[in-house]
Chain A
């Protein structure tokens, strides 16, 4: 452990024993490690104690972000690093963090650290998934979390005292998000069902976010099939949240008029070409010959009007 790094680590966990191994190994250099365990029954708390961490046992809660506020004061060192239980650091993290703390001087109170996100063995490079800066390294007491899932924490001294670590400079959080796509979908649904839906939010704003999720994905030239799948799921997630919010608001707006699915249907080029050929032939040939074609043309028109 490093005596020179004035740093505390806080991790909130519940039944993530398997994921905790890389976290514990990669943070061994941190002098004070506090694990807030939310009623795990898989031996997570014991594993952390064996690793020399201070474990605080509490009941399980839905909203971890708000919970964090309660336990941030446990940190006694000058700086705090927050990690989720499915995150870990690289082998050179100690030096990189030390450099950031030294560089902070009296100008910086918090750092946003870029994060690699993984589903299984696949890293997610698409915009929205990377660089995905997370405000996790901060002077102890300098930030506060907001209500809901994955809301951006507030830097209490102002955003001008927040610095974002350049992704090319090195330090990253490694986030083993999900084992696979199914787990990702299940988690999004859980977040959607348990999130805070205060007030009334225009349904169409959810739809705007759905379109943006799709558009962001298309904007990435290195987009993989997995990126596309995630974009579809996140777009779907916004639509589902809009419906949940509608229900939570007492169904006070007319959903049918307010909503349409984010899909645009194109007629295939073959259909349009055939339609044009029928039209050209009809215009150039006598009425007797084109009677059957007129019926065909009428059929095309009826298809259009449906």
Chain B
């Protein structure tokens, strides 16, 4: 049996990515359930995965079982069980170094940056990709040309600076909502403002691209590899972000906006569920099959 161990069920991208990956493994015939505190299921995105109680499930792990985890803090606890461990790397931080350095833990990477980090430490991860939930893909909702979706939890000062600099735009916050409501907002809005300077990889910008919003993002040194300034979004340093937003929203830039929008939708369309399934299918032949439990 395989257990994807999560620290909670609240609104954090890593929770959803974990469920998505478990779901793909399930469709490939892997026996797997997701373990959360109290066996409580997330209510903010769609999933068909079964949920079990984390504490009792971890206590029952045997050497025939595999525990998959993505939060570095769970490593010490799971290392004390007889189960084999698989690390599903969704972000990089020195906290993950002891995990990466542990040769008994199989490395999986969602993003190229994670893979590069692990390779730098002498490990070769298995690429299992990531995908944008179907609900985000644009469906023809009429877009409000002056509306900007943003996530105030992530970089509120910078968002506020942008709002003051471009008063002609209406800022629509996405916060603590079901992903279908977040998707509705993104589809409604012409722009998505990404202001989190700590957001290394960040699904939200990719989800916004899928929703047909022009992404205007603060530059992050190890930021999302899929963001290509001038092709599928606008990327600017924090100090320049308000001006960049003002510039791209000007009447004269209608053609450029259309181009960035199409480029974004092209990019996001390549992060489909079907594509990730193909990746994981391929990964089975590159070590993932051996890493999992088939009993």
Contacts and interface: CB of A to CB of B under 8 A. Distances in A.
Task: Assess A/B contact in the complex (Cβ within 8 A).
Answer: yes
Contacts of B261: 264
A265 interface: yes
A215 B269 contact: no
A215 B266 contact: yes
B139 A260 contact: yes
A205 interface: yes
B161 interface: no
Contact of B141 (A215, A261, A265, A272): A265
B140 A272 contact: no
Q: Do most interface residues of chain A lie in helix, strand or loop, or is the interface mixed?
A: helix
Interface string A188-217: 000000000000001111011101101100
Contact of A215 (B134, B212, B259, B272): B259
A107 interface: no
Contact of A265 (B137, B143, B266): B143
A158 interface: no
A137 B139 CA distance: 46
A260 B275 contact: no
A203 B278 CA distance: 13
A43 interface: no
Contact of A204 (B141, B145, B275): B275
B270 A218 contact: no
Contacts of A264: 138, 143, 212, 258, 261, 265
Interface residues of A, number: 27
Interface residues of B, number: 32
Interface in A201-251: 202-205, 207-209, 211-212, 214-215, 218-219
B10 interface: no
B145 A267 contact: yes
B145 A211 contact: no
B134 A257 contact: yes
B138 A266 contact: no
Contact of A266 (B190, B262, B270): B190
B263 interface: yes
A125 B166 CA distance: 38
Nearest to B212: A264
A198 to B, nearest CB: 14
B143 A253 contact: no
A105 interface: no
A218 B275 contact: no
B275 A265 contact: no
Interface string A261-303: 1111111010010000000000000000000000000000000
A208 B269 contact: yes
7 contacts: A202-B273, A204-B137, A207-B265, A218-B262, A261-B140, A264-B258, A265-B140
A-B pairs, top 7 by smallest CB distance, nearest first, are A202-B274, A208-B269, A204-B272, A211-B266, A215-B262, A218-B259, A212-B266
